Amino acid sequence: MNQPGDIVSKLTEQGYRLTPQRIMILSAIENSDDHISAEEIYAQVVAKYPNVNISTVYRTLELLKRLGLVTETDLGGGRVRYHPAAKGYHHHLVCRQCGAIIALDEALLSSLKSALLREYKFSADLRHLAIFGRCAKCD
């Protein structure tokens, strides 16, 4: 497993203490190629530190969200997923029927973002978005 990079250095910069458990949670997030759930993170951490409680995972995720280091997106069906904010902007179309997740082109949302700013003076946080509906197969 790689050493976690970005998130760790940002946390230490801001004076947060890094326990081995916290480092494992950060590695799990940074090493997941796509999204990861709190439960999946917990499963990885508890394999190495059997005394870790899942609330430690939730607390760490809360901290990372507050610091803007991870994004949290609800992909429906109770699937809340995390990934490092540094992995950039991306969006999903989620089928309510079969649960399929389709990547959505960023360009489609940049026009929405500027329209919201123009019409509502509203600066939308469109870093990681899930739009729900029905996919072509289920239509």
Is the CB of residue 43 less than 8 Å from the CB of residue 55? Answer: no
Q: Please give the residue ranges that form the binding site for Zn ion (CB under 5 A).
A: 95, 97-98, 100, 135, 138
Cα separation, 114 vs 58, in Å, equals: 34
Reported as type and span, the H/E element at residue 93 is strand 90-95
Q: How far is the CB of 101 from Zn ion (least distance, A)?
A: 8
Q: Which is nearer to Zn ion, 1 or 138 (CB)?
A: 138
Is the CB of residue 127 less than 8 Å from the CB of residue 104? Answer: no
Q: How far is the CB of 120 from Zn ion (least distance, A)?
A: 25
Q: How far is the CB of 98 from Zn ion (least distance, A)?
A: 3
Q: Which is nearer to Zn ion, 67 or 130 (CB)?
A: 130
